Chains A and B, each alone.
Chain A
């Protein structure tokens, strides 16, 4: 292979193709490591940025791209639409429609060159932008155009986790993956950061807001008894909010979310803790809508739960309830806050957002991740206690004698507004990324309802030729009431079967949607339910998915809208 200047954009496009088609993690890792070994430094920085969720500023929008492509190809709008619908991805549709250049059109421009140009035209007039994009298209082959368009439209989804990027980088740079993970987190700008600074001791940001990578739990697939002595484990509720990190350094307070997004501005209520928290502290916890105080409990929305109805499951200490000093609000409430550009006074009153802290990562400016959970927890309790603010809560530890008792307690998860139980080994250190062994989530079974499929639509991307997106209905009197869409959950074989059914049993077709004979019954599982004025059924589900195909049931046996309403009463508040 010739030296590392083999047309950086071409190299990157080839990487994207490889990552898109490799089916094995190891092949992906190989492709990435090879890429990092041969690409230019400026390009590498951008690749790290792109795959760790740092998007370049949008200077051209999707509508403009679409228009310019239509102009360049002379295709009528309806035909462009049809192509788009078949391909399922705008960037790819455009790449396929533009006239071919032949593979020899290699210009040698790098990824960083193109990105710099894209950023630079931000303030220019539309004509200038158009000229640049058309010129770039002319210089590129199909794969490069796809990548380029993806950069513009945003949303690279190529099945690459940050963990994989980190491992590949670690391999080619010869540095421990955990160290790399920390160095590339935080707030740094790929346009101004060099590769060597990024991987240097200070890391890319070297800034006060730099978070630690989250430690993520695996789902517990077996009985907890397999974990051994219950005394070695700490149990907490699993909260249904957004995983977040609270950073207090240099007299400032920053909030990071799990998606590695700086969300400080979204939660103005947190700023009250800036003065209360000690300097040089990083907390791991849940960003969640909260109503503070036991007063809420008295008004009927209470979260006090009696554990162990049989009397002998009582806890050794005197308290027989799992009492909370706060009431978590359903996830749907939090969503109303996140979705907003500007948070108004009214929003703050309606949905106050708090932070349930469960771990301490940094204390007095020192990295505490290598200390045991017991030690971190003790210090965390002291800190939260001293702040004493109604919206900053400590994630309560659930006391339990044995696994059987915890299983009983877990049954009440939904009543306290949680989605199950977390199990953390008391002796464990705080690791990087998703690791097996020390942290487990033991979620409660989802809510389920039997429904009939009434509409089908073709999938996008990977499934653009199959009918894979379905809308479901329950019975409402003698009618069918649609209440949710659900995508995943079927095997490829089942998908093919449903697809064939859709094609044979279409009643009518409007646009991409087929109305199908209401005949196939599915069990839909979901994590939460909330009232919704936007939906005909009056409810909105959280994480709806197909649990299984109820081939044993006929449409006459499906659940009713009353069943859904009842669930809303019990779980939707």
Chain B
């Protein structure tokens, strides 16, 4: 019996009796991070990183008693199986799950990135026999520029917009990218305005003790002049909505790994695209996989067939696994229902 099985409810550890990021309700769920395709409501008990707890409570409405928060590296034993969480570098609280039983070690990556973004915790390579990796950006065309370079580009863009009297609206996921952008924007603007969906996440994190630069929520009664030449962070649901019109004149900059390809920038009808991703790029994926020393690699959501084939050709036994993570086969980042709801405020 393998230590972890791939079932129609999610990744299951029969010996420990728990699931990792299940997509159907189960008794016990270990959650890598709070993005909606990895963390779903309805399970009996949840185990996750301490900083993921307030996010699960806020986003899924999970009762506080049902969630157990742990620190990175802190072991939890379930029927003799040793489980510990380790930084994945994806978003705040995101973790890899290390599962050990009778000397056999599996690591489930969840979503991860290998560059330290300064707020999510630096990705920790963990030795294991079997590694379950994501592959959202598993093609060599995805080769991220270092964060300081992209931040520089975003800052130049913001300053340029202000010189033309335009507000800068940055489109970013309300959980993860939005927090990551704050330290980029703080030096070039007095105030950072945020959409309600971003505001809610921000509050949940600040209340849990995370230190973040201050933001201001965009309110319906705010006069339009207030936003002239200012910086706004909003989720993608705000693009092209009536909500965004109050910033007129403004420029839209989309922050997403998909912006690496010109066609996607054009398709989004954005004025600028910044290839800023919370996922590992091709080199990041290969480096992380190699560092685990794993004998067997399972590749989940994204370019799983491509990455698995490439690993096999390089002498690393790999297989693709179908999961319900990611929007579709391209491993789109999660869509957030609440972002859409908050967009119409």
Contacts and interface: CB of A to CB of B under 8 A. Distances in A.
A103 B270 CA distance: 23
B1 to A, nearest CB: 33
Interface in B138-175: 139-141, 143, 145, 149
Contact of B267 (A75, A103, A463, A503): A463
B272 A21 contact: yes
A83 B266 contact: no
B345 interface: no
B140 A79 contact: yes
Interface in A73-99: 73, 75-76, 78-79, 82-83, 86-89, 92-93, 96-97
A21 B262 CA distance: 8
A464 B141 contact: no
A22 B271 contact: yes
Interface in B257-310: 258, 260-267, 269-273, 303, 306, 309-310
A464 B328 contact: no
B225 interface: no
A503 to B, nearest CB: 6
B330 interface: yes
B329 interface: yes
Interface residues on B, range: 20 to 34
B313 interface: yes
A488 B123 CA distance: 44
Interface residues of A, number: 30
A93 B261 CA distance: 9
Given A79-B310, A96-B141, A21 B263 contact: no
Contacts of B309: 78
Interface string A325-350: 00000000000000000000000000
Q: Name the prevailing secondary structure of the A interface residues.
A: helix
A462 interface: yes
Contacts of A83: 139-141
B265 A465 contact: no
A466 B271 CA distance: 20
Interface string B236-266: 0000000000000000000000101111111
A93 B270 CA distance: 21
A76 B310 CA distance: 9
B141 A97 contact: yes
A460 interface: yes
A516 to B, nearest CB: 15
A87 B264 CA distance: 9
A20 interface: yes
A20 B264 contact: no
Interface in A18-51: 20-23
Contacts of B270: 21
A161 interface: no
A372 interface: no
B329 A503 contact: yes
A155 interface: no
B272 A87 contact: no
B131 to A, nearest CB: 21
Given A21-B273, A23-B271, A96-B260, A462 B266 contact: yes
Given A21-B272, A23-B269, A465-B330, A89 B263 contact: yes
Contacts of A321: none
Contacts of A23: 269, 271
A390 interface: no
A59 B330 CA distance: 37
A461 interface: yes
B267 A92 contact: no
Contacts of B262: 20, 89, 92, 146, 461
A76 B313 contact: yes
Nearest to B145: A100
Nearest to A459: B263
A21 B141 contact: no
B140 A73 contact: yes
Contacts of A93: 141
Contacts of A73: 140
B263 A88 contact: yes
Nearest to A20: B262
Nearest to B266: A462
B289 to A, nearest CB: 16
Closest 3 CB pairs of A and B: A96-B141, A461-B263, A462-B266
Given A89-B262, A465-B258, 9 more contacts: A21-B270, A21-B272, A73-B140, A92-B261, A96-B261, A461-B263, A463-B263, A464-B261, A503-B328
23 contacts: A20-B265, A20-B266, A21-B270, A21-B272, A21-B273, A83-B139, A83-B140, A83-B141, A86-B141, A87-B261, A88-B261, A89-B263, A92-B262, A96-B140, A96-B141, A96-B143, A100-B145, A103-B149, A460-B263, A462-B263, A462-B266, A463-B263, A465-B330
